[in-house]
Amino acid sequence: MKRVSSLLLLVVLVSAFSGCTKESSALTLVSESGFTVANQGTAALTPTPKQTKVLSTLQDYAAELAKYTNDPPLAIDFTPGRYLLVDMGQRSSSGYSIAVTSVDVGADSVTANVRLIKPGTNCVLAPVMTNPYQFVFIPSVKEVLVSESVVVVNC
Protein backbone atom coordinates (compact mmCIF):
# COMPACT_ATOMS: atom_id res chain seq x y z
CA MET A 1 0.00 0.00 0.00
CA LYS A 2 2.85 2.34 0.89
CA ARG A 3 4.51 1.63 -2.46
CA VAL A 4 1.27 2.35 -4.37
CA SER A 5 0.86 5.66 -2.50
CA SER A 6 4.45 6.63 -3.31
CA LEU A 7 3.97 5.71 -6.96
CA LEU A 8 0.74 7.71 -7.13
CA LEU A 9 2.45 10.72 -5.55
CA LEU A 10 5.29 10.45 -8.08
CA VAL A 11 2.84 10.36 -11.01
CA VAL A 12 1.01 13.43 -9.70
CA LEU A 13 4.25 15.37 -9.22
CA VAL A 14 5.60 14.45 -12.65
CA SER A 15 2.38 15.48 -14.37
CA ALA A 16 2.23 18.74 -12.38
CA PHE A 17 5.79 19.70 -13.26
CA SER A 18 5.66 18.53 -16.87
CA GLY A 19 4.05 21.85 -17.82
CA CYS A 20 6.98 23.79 -16.36
CA THR A 21 9.53 23.03 -19.06
CA LYS A 22 10.68 25.70 -21.48
CA GLU A 23 9.27 23.80 -24.48
CA SER A 24 5.72 23.48 -23.13
CA SER A 25 5.48 27.11 -21.96
CA ALA A 26 6.46 28.27 -25.44
CA LEU A 27 3.39 26.47 -26.80
CA THR A 28 0.96 27.89 -24.24
CA LEU A 29 -1.35 30.39 -25.87
CA VAL A 30 -3.60 32.70 -23.88
CA SER A 31 -6.92 33.50 -25.48
CA GLU A 32 -7.51 37.10 -26.49
CA SER A 33 -10.84 36.96 -24.66
CA GLY A 34 -9.07 36.18 -21.40
CA PHE A 35 -7.99 39.05 -19.21
CA THR A 36 -6.23 39.42 -15.88
CA VAL A 37 -7.14 41.91 -13.17
CA ALA A 38 -3.84 43.47 -12.10
CA ASN A 39 -4.91 46.25 -9.73
CA GLN A 40 -8.22 47.59 -8.47
CA GLY A 41 -9.55 49.76 -5.72
CA THR A 42 -12.12 52.28 -4.58
CA ALA A 43 -9.83 55.23 -3.88
CA ALA A 44 -7.10 56.95 -5.85
CA LEU A 45 -4.16 58.81 -4.33
CA THR A 46 -5.29 61.90 -6.24
CA PRO A 47 -8.80 62.48 -7.63
CA THR A 48 -9.16 61.49 -11.27
CA PRO A 49 -11.89 62.01 -13.88
CA LYS A 50 -13.97 59.22 -15.39
CA GLN A 51 -11.76 57.69 -18.08
CA THR A 52 -10.48 54.66 -19.94
CA LYS A 53 -6.89 54.38 -21.13
CA VAL A 54 -5.03 51.76 -23.12
CA LEU A 55 -1.46 51.44 -21.83
CA SER A 56 1.12 49.94 -24.18
CA THR A 57 4.35 50.18 -22.17
CA LEU A 58 5.50 49.31 -18.68
CA GLN A 59 6.45 52.97 -18.16
CA ASP A 60 2.92 54.16 -19.05
CA TYR A 61 1.39 51.52 -16.78
CA ALA A 62 3.71 52.47 -13.88
CA ALA A 63 2.98 56.19 -14.30
CA GLU A 64 -0.80 55.68 -14.29
CA LEU A 65 -0.70 53.18 -11.42
CA ALA A 66 1.23 55.69 -9.29
CA LYS A 67 -1.84 57.97 -9.38
CA TYR A 68 -3.94 55.27 -7.71
CA THR A 69 -1.78 53.27 -5.32
CA ASN A 70 1.69 52.88 -3.86
CA ASP A 71 1.78 49.25 -5.03
CA PRO A 72 4.62 48.52 -7.47
CA PRO A 73 3.61 47.75 -11.06
CA LEU A 74 3.59 44.12 -12.09
CA ALA A 75 6.48 43.30 -14.43
CA ILE A 76 4.58 42.20 -17.51
CA ASP A 77 5.77 41.54 -21.05
CA PHE A 78 3.73 43.91 -23.21
CA THR A 79 4.55 42.03 -26.42
CA PRO A 80 1.39 39.88 -26.34
CA GLY A 81 -1.03 42.52 -25.05
CA ARG A 82 -1.78 45.74 -23.21
CA TYR A 83 -3.23 47.13 -20.02
CA LEU A 84 -6.60 48.82 -19.88
CA LEU A 85 -7.41 51.30 -17.13
CA VAL A 86 -11.11 51.79 -16.40
CA ASP A 87 -11.79 54.59 -13.94
CA MET A 88 -15.22 55.66 -12.70
CA GLY A 89 -13.92 59.03 -11.54
CA GLN A 90 -14.44 60.64 -8.17
CA ARG A 91 -17.77 59.94 -6.42
CA SER A 92 -19.18 61.58 -3.30
CA SER A 93 -20.19 58.41 -1.43
CA SER A 94 -19.67 54.69 -1.07
CA GLY A 95 -21.64 52.20 -3.16
CA TYR A 96 -19.94 52.71 -6.53
CA SER A 97 -17.77 50.19 -8.38
CA ILE A 98 -16.39 49.48 -11.84
CA ALA A 99 -15.14 46.27 -13.42
CA VAL A 100 -14.30 44.67 -16.74
CA THR A 101 -16.68 41.70 -16.95
CA SER A 102 -15.60 40.12 -20.25
CA VAL A 103 -13.66 40.72 -23.47
CA ASP A 104 -15.18 40.01 -26.89
CA VAL A 105 -12.83 39.28 -29.79
CA GLY A 106 -13.47 40.66 -33.27
CA ALA A 107 -11.48 40.41 -36.49
CA ASP A 108 -9.61 43.69 -35.96
CA SER A 109 -10.40 44.62 -32.35
CA VAL A 110 -11.26 43.41 -28.89
CA THR A 111 -14.10 44.94 -26.87
CA ALA A 112 -13.80 45.19 -23.10
CA ASN A 113 -17.25 45.06 -21.51
CA VAL A 114 -17.27 47.30 -18.46
CA ARG A 115 -19.94 47.37 -15.75
CA LEU A 116 -20.41 50.52 -13.67
CA ILE A 117 -22.42 49.96 -10.49
CA LYS A 118 -24.28 52.85 -8.86
CA PRO A 119 -26.22 52.78 -5.58
CA GLY A 120 -29.99 53.18 -5.77
CA THR A 121 -31.98 55.89 -4.00
CA ASN A 122 -32.85 53.66 -1.01
CA CYS A 123 -29.24 52.70 -0.21
CA VAL A 124 -27.59 53.83 3.03
CA LEU A 125 -24.21 55.21 1.99
CA ALA A 126 -21.11 56.40 3.76
CA PRO A 127 -20.38 60.06 2.96
CA VAL A 128 -16.82 59.45 1.73
CA MET A 129 -15.04 60.37 -1.48
CA THR A 130 -14.43 57.28 -3.61
CA ASN A 131 -12.72 56.78 -6.97
CA PRO A 132 -13.35 53.21 -8.23
CA TYR A 133 -10.81 51.91 -10.75
CA GLN A 134 -9.43 48.74 -12.27
CA PHE A 135 -6.34 47.88 -14.32
CA VAL A 136 -6.67 44.74 -16.47
CA PHE A 137 -4.20 43.06 -18.80
CA ILE A 138 -5.76 42.06 -22.13
CA PRO A 139 -3.63 39.55 -24.08
CA SER A 140 -4.19 41.12 -27.50
CA VAL A 141 -2.44 43.72 -29.64
CA LYS A 142 -5.63 44.49 -31.56
CA GLU A 143 -7.40 47.81 -31.09
CA VAL A 144 -9.14 47.92 -27.69
CA LEU A 145 -12.71 49.19 -27.67
CA VAL A 146 -14.83 49.70 -24.55
CA SER A 147 -18.54 49.04 -24.06
CA GLU A 148 -20.07 50.31 -20.80
CA SER A 149 -23.24 49.35 -19.01
CA VAL A 150 -24.64 50.94 -15.85
CA VAL A 151 -26.32 48.87 -13.16
CA VAL A 152 -28.26 50.55 -10.35
CA VAL A 153 -28.31 48.46 -7.18
CA ASN A 154 -31.45 48.92 -5.10
CA CYS A 155 -30.54 48.21 -1.50
> pLDDT for 25-48, tens place per residue?
222 345 778 999 999 999 999 999
In a domain, 139, yes or no: yes
Looking at the structure of the chain, the number of domains it has is: 1
pLDDT (tens digit, 9 = 90+) per residue, 141-155?
999 999 999 999 998
pLDDT number for residue 137: 94
* Structural domain span for residue 128: 31-153
Does residue 93 fall inside a structural domain?
yes
pLDDT at position 5 is: 36
User: What is residue 144's predicted lDDT score, i.e. its pLDDT?
Assistant: 97
User: Does residue 130 belong to any structural domain of this protein?
Assistant: yes
In DSSP notation, 81-150 reads: -EEEEEE---BSSS--EEEEEEEEE-SSEEEEEEEEEEE-TT-------B--EEEEEE---SEEEEEEEE
10 DSSP 8-state letter? H
Q: Could you say which DSSP state residue 42 is in?
A: S
Would residue 42 count as lying in a domain?
yes
pTM of the model: 0.78
Report yes or no on 110 lying in a domain: yes
**For the chain, which residues score pLDDT lower than 50?**
1-29
Flag whether 13 is in a domain.
no
Gap between the Cα atoms of 118 and 130, Å rounded: 12
Q: Please give the share of the chain, as a percent, with pLDDT higher than 90.
A: 74
Q: Which helix (H) or strand (E) holds 41?
A: strand 36-41
Q: Residue 36: what pLDDT?
A: 92
pLDDT in the model for residue 98: 98
Asked if residue 1 belongs to a domain, the reply is no
Residue 12 domain-assigned?
no
